[in-house]
Amino acid sequence: MSGVVVHLPRGSGGADGGEPCGDAVTLRLGPGQVARFGRGSARTPVELRLADPAISRLAGEIRATDDHWQLTNHSSTHSYLVENPEGAGEYLRVPPRRVGAPVPFEFSRVVLPTRGDLTVSFQVFAPDHVYLDPDATGAPWGSRTVTAYSLDESATYFLVLVALCEPRLRDQSRVAVPTTPQIVERLGGHVPGGAPTARAVSSHIDYLAEEKLRIGVLDDREPGRGERRNGKREEIVGLALRFGLVREEHLALLPSPAGGGRERQRPR
Amino acid sequence: MTPPRGPEDTTEHDRTELLPPGRRVGDWVVTELIGAGGWSTVYAARPAEGRREGAGGPAGPAEVALKIMPTAGLAPRQARRIVESARREVALGHGAGHPRLIGLRESFVLAAPDLPAVDGAIVLVMERAAGSLRELLDAGVSGAERGRLIEGICEGLAHLHRSGWVHADLKPENVLLGRDGSVKLSDFGLATELTGTHGYVPPMGTLDYLPPERWRAPLGELGVQVRPSADIWALGIVIHEVFASGTSPFPGATPVARGAAVQEYGEGRAPLRMDLAVPPFWRALAADCLAPTHAARAPHTAESLLARIAAGEATRDRGTEGAGPHDTEGAGPPGTEARVPGPRDTGAGRRGRARAAVLAAVLCGTVGAVLGSDAVRDGVSASPGGTVKVFNAERGCQDRADRDRQCSLGLAIDPLRPYAAGNVVPTRVWHGDVLTADCRLPDGQPVIDEEDLRSTLWFRVRLPRGSAYPAAWLPAVRTKDRPTLPGCPVPGG
């Protein structure tokens, strides 16, 4: 666990381009760290620059707290919305001048109103939410030994992970890990908000690798690593299965394999 | 949001009601439930009447603890996780028995066709403890007890680390107390044997006891890397808990909040604020255990902490207890003096404290050499080896006990390369140190000492755990001893 990640996608920083050239910005905040956002100026510096005339110089602050984050709204007139893009319409409204409103979502989109049609928004990820181990529910957990890499089994990234692991879980051990298009097809119509795009599936895989399992850095000195440096998705599948993060019972989360014996995953 | 489907229910049944009192398990009869953890349930049991001859030894105990790890109804991969955990406990139980570790008597697979929930469960038969340190902390612990408890934990850790293991889940719940109050570390389900400087554990732990580096640790093919310094961090938390009525030094109402505080501290954004109820000596000790990085913590090995505790007792004139139990022969391995005198030691008492610490290092070292002799170390033969006493030809250095750097001697990294500055390990040794030697190399680089003695013979000696190298080479001119040892494999080959 290590705080939150703030991500301003390319070109989302407002009509005036936001950050120089409208580039994407990613900030990583450790527990207790603060990022300010707004239009910014020489006298009111901000970490996240949002260029829209309707946004104040200092529009708000994000503070990483424990495993979640808090939003402070510096505006005296506008409410900000924090949407859960995976939450089927779940959102929070943070009223003007509210200090430190806690945000419970793992994925959030902070939306700031503008005068035009184009809203300004950025994303905040809180990958450190802790989940109880399945065999540890219904008991005090404070001093328990827990899995340190906990996954939200209701999140889309978990579905993607189960789909990645499916061939291996179904004992087709020789089958290669599914490709992104195969996963898009496998999850088709099952994910809230319709079929995920290939780009969405790729970002879920990146999120799993970098924020959840943290396998981004490959250590060549590790035994057995040097000679066979696996691809990222092979690595994710290997770890998820080895450490029981994905198990046979999770296959039930996937749509049942398409009927009529059309078992795509099976080699012929 | 997709409703969670599938994984529920199968895990909801009450695992704690597996075995009724009076139920026979192997050679034992269950008397009562002690507790239930994530994967296991622990029962008290007594020997069954008419049990097999010899089971449990000639004078079996009146009571044991049975740790039952059910595998029934689990998917093969989950069962494997439990089998691996049991395997770690058994491997450690057989390899590293010690009065400060809870004893493992036997392990078997339970055949109970009438109780499907536990049929095929792995059973570990262990020494029965009177309670845990957590229970003692909750009940309140007396002042004099506290130092003894920490010393006991430290002894257990020192033994584990010397034997090449990391506990990886040290917390008051896993520190058990015998009926006589003796400290016994338990629950080695995450303990791992080191390969080189670190080992790997499954990605699990207890939030309040994880060192700052663990929060960012990547998950690798073998699990998460752990080093003995992770146990030292946990020890620092436990020391604070023992003296501050069970509270962590890190602020926060929940383990997650305290974990966040640990990270803020680890990243240098918050100072360490310990409860003033912790006496200065123990606060200094805990502060060193809680150094924010592995590198800063590494010099504070369990052994060096133990030496400081012994020295602290000696200087505080606690009667004869301080230096009592240990024999006075021999001298310690190098490195145990790493913290003498500490940077906090100031004023008039400094010299006396330093000397006491050296003495303590020497005493603990002797015990270490004996206990550590059965340790199996990666790449180093498991044979008991011999000992060599370091000899410094400089007469002025021979009767000095202050371990002045000027009188220290080096150990080579590679005995086939010239014995020069780049080829020396950081660990220094002094005249009179007793080192454990594994093997001899008759034809290394020739070395000539101050008295023109020349030799090509080298001994491979073990270094204290946590050293940059697991072993190093002592030129034979630096000792008068010539123990019978096997030949070393050619280094680097």
Residue contact A153–B37, C-beta within 8 A: no
Inter-chain touch A247–B204, beta carbons under 8 Å: no
Asked if the C-beta of A32 comes within 8 angstroms of chain B's C-beta atoms, the answer is yes
Report CB contact under 8 Å: B221, A136: no
B113 token code pair:
């066709």
Cβ contact B256–A67 (<8 Å): yes
User: Across the interface, do B37 and A253 touch by the CB < 8 Å criterion?
Assistant: no
What pLDDT does residue B38 have? Answer: 63
Let me know how long chain A is: 268
A149 and B78 in contact by Cβ < 8 A?
no
Contact across the interface for A3 and B5, Cβ inside 8 Å: no
Q: Which residues of chain B form CATH 3.30.200.20?
A: 24-51+58-127
Comparing alpha-carbon positions, the chain B residue that sits nearest to A230 is B221
Task: Give the β-pairing of B204-205 and B458-462.
Answer: unpaired
Cα of B57 to nearest chain A Cα, Å? 33
Residue of chain A whose alpha carbon sits nearest to that of B215: A1
pLDDT along chain B (493 residues), means of 10: 37 57 88 78 86 52 85 68 76 74 84 82 87 91 89 93 89 91 87 79 86 86 88 96 94 91 92 93 95 94 93 61 32 33 36 38 34 33 67 76 77 83 82 86 80 82 81 88 84 62
pLDDT level of residue A110 (50, 70, 90 thresholds): very high
Cβ distance B2 to A192 less than 8 Å, yes or no, reads: yes
Q: Helix, strand, or coil here: A201?
A: helix
B258, closest residue in chain A (CA to CA): A66
Contact state of B11 with A219 under an 8 Å Cβ cutoff: no
**Nearest chain A Cα distance for residue B255, angstroms:** 6
A70-99 residues touching B, CB cutoff 8 A? 86-88, 90
pLDDT at res. B470: 82
**CB proximity A172 to B under 8 Å:** no
| Contact between chains at B259 and A134 (C-beta distance less than 8 A) | no
Confidence bin at A37 (pLDDT 50/70/90)? very high
Q: Where in chain B is the domain with CATH 1.10.510.10?
A: 131-371
Nearest to B257 among A3, A66, A235 (CB): A66
* B119 counts as catalytic: no
Residue B75: closest C-alpha in chain A: A248
Looking at CATH, the fold of the domain delimited by B131-371 is given as Transferase(Phosphotransferase); domain 1 (1.10.510)
Contact A30 B10 (CB under 8 A): no
Give the active site residue among B169, B187, B208, B433: B169
At residue B35, φ and ψ (nearest 5 deg) are -175, 170
Does A220 contact chain B (CB < 8 Å)?
A: no
H-only helix segments in chain A = 156-169, 180-186, 198-207, 232-242
Residue B5's pLDDT is what? 36
Q: State the Cα–Cα distance between residues A3 and A1, nearest whole angstrom.
A: 6
Which of A108-112, A223-227, A229-233 tops mean pLDDT? A108-112
Contacts of A250 in chain B (CB under 8 A): 6-7
Reported as a single tens digit per residue, the pLDDT across B267-280 is: 998 999 999 999 99
Report CB contact under 8 Å: B219, A149.
yes
Q: Is A166 on the interface with B (CB under 8 A)?
A: no
Of residues A134 and A89, which shows the higher confidence score? A89
Superfamily of segment(s) B24-51+58-127: Phosphorylase Kinase; domain 1 (3.30.200.20)
Query: What is the predicted ipTM?
Result: 0.81
Q: Do A219 and B173 touch (CB under 8 A)?
A: no
Test the A interface: residue of B1, B135, B186, B209 with most A CBs within 10 Å: B1
**B313 CA: distance to closest CA in chain A (Å):** 32
**A16/chain B closest Cα distance in angstroms:** 34
**What does the pLDDT read at residue B229?**
95
pTM for the full predicted model: 0.69
User: pLDDT tens digits for A158-198?
Assistant: 999 999 999 888 876 666 788 888 888 888 866 666 677 88
Chain B interface includes A251 (CB < 8 A): yes
Half-sphere exposure (CA, 13 Å, Cβ side) for A139? Answer: 20
Q: Is A242 on the interface with B (CB under 8 A)?
A: yes
User: How many cross-chain Cβ pairs, A to B, lie less than 8 Å apart?
Assistant: 153
Residue B12's pLDDT is what?
Answer: 38
Contact B336, B383 (CB under 8 A): no
Query: Which member of A65, A149, A250 has the closest CB to residue B6?
Result: A250
pLDDT at B2: 38
Residue A267's pLDDT band (boundaries 50, 70, 90)?
A: very low
Q: Does A104 touch chain B (CB under 8 A)?
A: no
Q: What is the 3-state secondary structure (H, E, C) of chain B?
A: CCCCCCCCCCCCCCCCCCCCCCCEECCEEEEEEEEECCCCEEEEEEECCCCCCCCCCCCCCCCEEEEEECCCCCCHHHHHHHHHHHHHHHHHHHHCCCCCECCEEEEEECCCCCCCCCCCCEEEEEECCCEEHHHHHHHCCCHHHHHHHHHHHHHHHHHHHHCCEECCCCCHHHEEECCCCCEEECCCCCCEECECCEEEECCEECHHHCCHHHHHCCCECCEEEECHHHHHHHHHHHHHHHHCCCCCCCCCCCHHHHHHHHHHHHCCCCCCCCCCCCCHHHHHHHHHHCCCCHHHHCCCCHHHHHHHHHHHHHHCCCCCCCCCCCCCCCCCCCCCCCCCCCCCCCCCCHHHHHHHHHHHHHHHHHHHHHHHHHCCECCECCCCCEEEEECCCCHHHHCCCCCCHHHCECCECCCCCCCCHHHECCCCECCCCEEEEEEEECCCCCEECCCCCEECCEEEEECCCCCCCCEEEEEHHHECCCCCCCECCCCCC
Q: A216 touching B, CB under 8 A?
A: yes
Chain A residues 221-240 with a CB less than 8 Å from chain B: 222-225, 235, 238-239
Partner residue facing A244 (CB), from B12, B36, B78: B78
Instruction: Say if residue A27's pLDDT is above 80.
Output: yes
Question: Is the minimum CB–CB distance between A241 and chain B shorter than 8 Å?
Answer: yes
